[in-house]
Structure 1
Amino acid sequence: MSSSVHVKEAILITPSDQTPSTILPLSSLDSQLFLRFTIEYLLVYKPVPGLKKPGLIERIKSALGQALVLYYPLAGRVRSRSDGSGLEVFCGSQGALFIEAEVLDRTLFEEFEKAPRFGTSWRKFLSVYVADVLKGAPPVVVQLTWLSDDGATLCVGINHCLIDGIGSGMFLNSFAELARGECGLTGLKPMPVWDRHLMSPNPMVRARANLLSHPEFNRVPDLCGFTSRFIQEDLEPTQIIFTRRKLNELRKLAVSTSWLTESLCTMFEVLSAHVWRSWARALNLPSNQILKMLFSINIRNRVKPSVPSFYYGNAFVLGCAQTSVRDLTEKGLGYATELVKRAKERVDDEHVREVIESVSSNQVCPDSVGVLIVSQWSWLGLDKVDFGMGNPTCVAPVCTDKYCIFSPVPNQLDAIKVNVAIPSCAVDQYLNHVRNPYT
């Protein structure tokens, strides 16, 4: 059943106190071509008996204004530098966009009991879609939407050029803490760190950009019309929850088919390898097609000196596991897990400096042929973002597409929900493989 959103209010929220009026350069990692989009989070809240909606709305708007004092670049506007060397943010307290809306014919259960019917079914909960983040749009858009049973969604879109997953988790939890009234700005922790120069080339230590050692940027032949397939075919959203028990079973399977021990492989390595294999087996690709799995690796503690813990800019590089369809599908889960593990182990200070040099001097971009991109939201603290309505009952991407999102499952310790859209003709095969790892 189709439903529409009625927007009750749309207003720019500016910082609640004076902030610097300045132009700040973004880092080389921030300026990467593939980050010029909006991260979009969907948080779902169950009805709260006796909740006074007008009071909550005012607290959220006030908290957003306070949060933008500390995170004042998020109230600015991102643009290209005049010399073309990267991006910058013009900080003039222009503000973030806040929207209050309602959907009168849908309940929380009806809308979120299962995966969305279409990849864009939940787009209505974040009505403003920013197609080009460099065209003057607010870097932050917040939409609170009431459902007919008084449940609510709170969706947040954040310009990825300004912030990474860890940074956005910090921002949202600080924003929510202010909305609950548990502290003022002076008592808010952690305090965000800007320091974007840390993720740009060091003129005193120039790393040589060796792209041959960075498969994430190398092009591979498209033997099967891979790119056009994901553009032309209908993609169907899927959601699968892996409980702690299922994750432990996967890890035992990976260990039994490799040299790994349970202590040597993480849940992310095992689960991402399993999803990657299931995806590849379902798509019926040529056996000699090269496939890649790309995933973000936090580098805050992998570079020397280490980056401050509360740095909220883009402080990650892409890990890349690569192999042929034949080897990925036939050699077992342990083999795929080893590929993911080795991709992580390659990332040290020298590797990071090579990436920074490459993206700043060559404007390289990850390949899209044969690629599955996995993004891990499950440890960002999104399941604890409480604006005064309790913790969310569901955390998901606003739109489900071919990028695979690992999201947390509220109230299920260590459980992970895998969200990814699959070509319609391959959905049943994918679900069969991902649910039955021993087949």
Structure 2
Amino acid sequence: MASLPSSLVFTVRRCQPELVAPAKATPYEFRQLSDIDDQEGLRFQMLGLQFYRYDPSMQGRDPVHVIREAIAQTLVFYYPFAGRLREGPNRKLAVECTAEGIMFIEADADITLKQFGDNLQPPFPCLEELLYNVPGSEGILNCPLLLIQVTRLQCGGFIFALRLNHTMSDAAGLVQFMTAVGEIARGATFPTVQPVWQRELLNARDPLRVTCPHREYEEVENTKGTIIPPDDMVLRSFFFLPTEVSAIRRFVPQYLSKCSTFEVLTACLWRCRTIALQKDPNEEVRVLCVVNARSKFNPPLPVGYYGNALAYPVAVTTAGRLCNNPLGYALELVRKAKADVTEEHMRSLAALMVIKGRPHFTVVNSYVMSDLTRAGFREVDFGWGKAAYGGPAKGRVVASYYIPFRDNRGEDGIVVPVCLPAVAMEKFIKELDAMLNADEELIRVHSSTKYILSAL
């Protein structure tokens, strides 16, 4: 179930990075980001990888040329991506639409897709070669908002690697842009879904009103060194087939049987991870569930909106209660947290960002879970068909992603990258395996509804 890090080594030959500007003239203007976009927790670079197989029907067509030209055409519609981010008073971010362009790298690798192995999933070997960090380009302000590297493989396949300034878009917005590039690469003259800016829809109300609790943004002191240090970290991906999800569901009480796969996996992984990290039983621990709030609005946000429409609803308890209670306890907390996201929650959150100076969500003893199973990365098609893998390039220390994946037997499941210190990773695997292979007596105890309740 756990994939081992690869020792594969290969050489990538890169051309000089270049700027790809919109193919036609675009408006010069300043466009403000929303009060959800410019929070501190989104001021980082999001990394993605797409692997594409050789397609005989595309013989003679160069993916580098096709994609570079399609990007230039797509930027006519998504011209803010070709600009640069500026920071104004009160840390407010805006895009100066300069049409300078996105950064693009053409590359070739002396390797075939088959050599990556049957199971394409993080961690990927030589990632820094497949997505080169051009010196001076990685800043949040005054730098290219997108960096794309297309690397040809010896087999005729290719890798599309991308780095996005997360303040510009969430996963749904990024996939919308990538899908547009794919449509134009395949011959369309304009995207099926027209981009919508309208970031003012997620700005704070006037007067400012915080009407909901937002414990995900509480200021928590790191008194026990509980932000996991990067030293001795291990990244493993875990592949959950429906059979593994069903094995975990055996622990779910009957009255929670309608819970989603995201909810049951999140409860399970949060609990196993906390046990593995051996926290003080009295320490507060949190799980933050990334929720796409587009549909929570009435009317919903317009189709084509490509800004961040994210919330981070949080479940809070103590390590002791989480680890000593059955799985149903964690599951109830996760379900309740997700249900907190409403239109009013988002309006309140926007106000909180303005009042508090656009803070970062709480990192101390937090675990962030993001469901990308319906985001659509795998479906992005530049003419060579769907991606063999599409999604995050790597896991993060405090976050895991749920990535849809089809294994070499054609079975569909969910890949979850997990990052932990080496000793904790061993404990995590042991704890997870114990749940997957539990006998009926252990399941009976765990599916009990007698919990030590959380007062937090």
TM-score, normalised to structure 2, is 0.86
What pairs up with 1:364-375 in 2 under 5 angstroms? 364-375=359-370
- The letter of the residue matching 1:25 is Q
The 2-side partners of 1:32 and 1:163 are apart by 12
Q: Structure 1: which amino acid aligns with 2:405? A: V
- Equivalent position of 1:218 in the other structure: 218
SS of 2:140's equivalent in the other structure is: coil
Letter in 2 for 1:108: L
Q: Structure 1 residue 86: deviation in Å?
A: 0.6
Q: Secondary structure at the match of 1:415?
A: strand
Partner of 2:130: 125
Give the residue type in structure 2 aligned to 1:207: R
- Counterpart of 1:420 in structure 2 is 418
1:76-87 aligned within 5 A: 76-81=83-88, 83-87=89-93
Task: Give TM-score scaled by structure 1 length.
Answer: 0.90
2:262 to 268, 278, 289: 268
Alignment partner of 1:301: what SS? helix
Match of 1:246 among 233, 244, 252: 244
For this pair of structures, how many residues does the alignment match? 424
Do the aligned partners of 1:119 and 1:401 also contact (CA within 8 Å) in 2?
no
Contact (CA 8 Å) 1:143, 1:156: kept in 2 or not? yes
Q: Give me the whole-angstrom Cα distance separating, in 1, the residues matched to 2:120 and 2:423.
A: 17
> Residue type matched to 1:70 in 2?
F
Matches of 1:92 and 1:131, distance apart in 2: 18
The amino acid that maps onto 2:169 is: I
Contact map agreement 2:147 2:164 (CA 8 A) in 1: yes
The one-character-per-residue Cα deviations of 1:111-153 (angstroms, maximum 9, x if unpaired) are 354588968842221102654211x221111111123433321
Corresponding residue of 2:185: 179
Task: Name the % identity.
Answer: 28
Residue-by-residue CA offset, 1:5-28 (whole Å, 9 max, x unaligned): 210353211111221111111111
**Letter paired with 1:62:** E
CA distance in 1, matches of 2:347, 2:84: 28
Corresponding position: 1:107 with 2:112: yes
Distance in 1 between residues matched to 2:219 and 2:252, nearest whole Å: 29
Compared CA separation, residues 109 and 55, structure 1 to 2 (3 A): closer
Asked if 1:310 is matched to 2:304, the reply is yes
1:193 alignment partner, one of 180, 193, 196: 196
Q: Does 1:13 align with 2:20?
A: yes
* DSSP 3-state at the match of 1:434: helix
Q: In the aligned structure 2, how far is the partner of 1:348 from the partner of 1:241?
A: 32
- SS of match in other structure, 1:383: coil
Structure 1 residue identity aligned to 2:64? I
Tell whether 2:344 aligns with 1:339: no
- Name the aligned partner's letter for residue 321 of structure 1: A
Q: Could you tell me which of 63, 68, 79 is aligned with 2:75? A: 68
| Structure 2 runs not aligned, ≥5 long | 1-7, 439-456
Secondary structure at the counterpart of residue 302 of structure 2: coil
Task: After TM superposition, list the pairs within 5 Å mapping 1:18-37 onto structure 2.
Answer: 18-37=25-44
Cα contact 2:109–2:154 (8 A) shared by 1: yes
Q: Give the aligned CA root-mean-square deviation in angstroms.
A: 2.3
C-alpha distance 121-237 of structure 1, shift in aligned 2 (>3 A):
farther
Sort the Cα spacing of 1:117 and 1:294 in 2 relative to 1 into closer, same or farther, 3 A: closer
Partner SS, residue 99 of structure 1: strand
The worse-fitting range, judged by mean Cα deviation, of 294-303 and 193-202 is 294-303
Distance 1:284 1:115, change over 3 A: farther
The one-letter code matched in structure 1 to 2:156 is D
Q: Hey, what's the Cα distance between the residues in 2 that align with 1:330 and 1:395?
A: 37
Q: How much does 1:431 deviate?
A: 2.0
**Do residues 146 (structure 1) and 145 (structure 2) align?**
no
* 1:390 alignment partner in structure 2: 385
CA distance in 1, matches of 2:257, 2:435: 18
Secondary structure, in 3 states, of the residue corresponding to 2:313?
strand
Q: Which moved more, 1:281-290 or 1:88-97?
A: 281-290
Tell me the residue number matched to 2:318.
324
Counterpart check, 1:355 vs 2:357: no
